[in-house]
């Protein structure tokens, strides 16, 4: 089974986009189950599911909130403006998006880009846990307060971004969402500094 079989790749997509859709087992089965998932009302609004993309053996996993319009169109995470900023940050520490694994807390776009509801987050959590188990990353960077709240439900992002905690054998670092840095220019330097911390940690855990 390939992504083409369930219509994830848009007809006529350029080669570099095909590259981003390249997925291997065991993700193929998982992505198919996500594509068929009817578990919450987000299923009614989606064009495409957005399961995740990148390396199944990466030491670093990035978890955003939920797909936006562009992601919903293409079935890939972080391919809009936030994604461009994220790629720039990754490049600044010598990583491309294919080197890391990128996903979201919910795999379908919430209408009007609203925050996902807790029932939707819970309905999608088994998929996220499966992804974490498959990739088995040394480090997880949560992007924004929604994904942060999975590990740090009672914390404020302004207080704990860039700090690393070891939880269940993994290093978890909360970070600001790229969209927050795009909205508020003064956060860009903070995000850049937090990415440098990721680079340092990954070097130390080599």
Q: Which residues bind ligand URA (CB under 6 A)?
A: 64-68, 71, 77-78, 80, 82, 104
Comparing CB distances to ligand URA, the nearer of 9 and 71 is 71
Count of alpha carbons within 13 angstroms of residue 169, beta-carbon side: 5
Buried b (16+ CB within 10 A) or exposed e, 140-155: bbbbbbbbbbbbbeeb
The length of the chain, given as a count of residues: 206
Centroid of chain to Cα 63: 4
Least distance CB 190 / ligand URA (angstroms): 18
Tell me how far apart the alpha carbons of residues 178 and 11 are, in angstroms, rounded to a whole number: 29
Taking CA atoms, 98 is separated from 2, 56, 77, 89, in Å, by: 18, 10, 12, 14
Strand partners, 170: 167
Least distance CB 201 / ligand URA (angstroms): 22
Comparing CB distances to ligand URA, the nearer of 66 and 162 is 66
Comparing CB distances to ligand URA, the nearer of 1 and 10 is 10
Tell me how far apart the alpha carbons of residues 4 and 49 are, in angstroms, rounded to a whole number: 13
Least distance CB 64 / ligand URA (angstroms): 3
Least distance CB 21 / ligand URA (angstroms): 15
Residue with structure tokens 């209408």? Answer: 111
The structure tokens listed for 126 are 């088994």
Comparing CB distances to ligand URA, the nearer of 67 and 137 is 67
Strand partners, 101: 54, 61
Least distance CB 105 / ligand URA (angstroms): 8
Comparing CB distances to ligand URA, the nearer of 122 and 205 is 122
Report whether the peptide linkage leading into residue 26 is cis, meaning its omega lies within 30 degrees of zero: yes
Least distance CB 36 / ligand URA (angstroms): 20
Comparing CB distances to ligand URA, the nearer of 59 and 142 is 142
């Amino acid at each position: 089974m390939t992504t083409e079989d369930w219509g994830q790749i848009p007809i006529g997509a350029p080669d570099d986009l095909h590259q981003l859709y390249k997925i291997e087992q065991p993700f193929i089965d998982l992505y198919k189950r996500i594509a068929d998932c009817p578990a919450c009302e987000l299923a009614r609004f989606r064009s495409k599911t957005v399961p995740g993309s990148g390396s199944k053996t990466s030491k670093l996993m990035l978890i955003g909130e939920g797909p936006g319009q562009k992601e919903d169109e293409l079935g890939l995470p972080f391919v809009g403006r936030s994604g461009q900023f994220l790629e720039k940050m990754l490049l600044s520490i010598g990583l491309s998006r294919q080197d890391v694994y990128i996903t979201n807390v919910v795999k379908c776009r919430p209408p009007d880009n609203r925050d996902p509801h807790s029932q939707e987050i819970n309905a999608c959590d088994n998929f996220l846990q499966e992804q974490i188990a498959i990739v088995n990353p040394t480090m997880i960077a949560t992007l924004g307060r929604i994904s942060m709240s999975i590990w740090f439900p009672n914390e404020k992002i302004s207080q704990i971004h860039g700090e690393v905690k070891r939880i269940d054998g993994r290093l978890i670092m909360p970070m600001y969402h790229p969209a927050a840095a795009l909205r508020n220019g003064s956060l860009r330097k903070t995000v850049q500094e937090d990415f440098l911390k990721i680079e340092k940690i990954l070097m130390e855990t080599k």
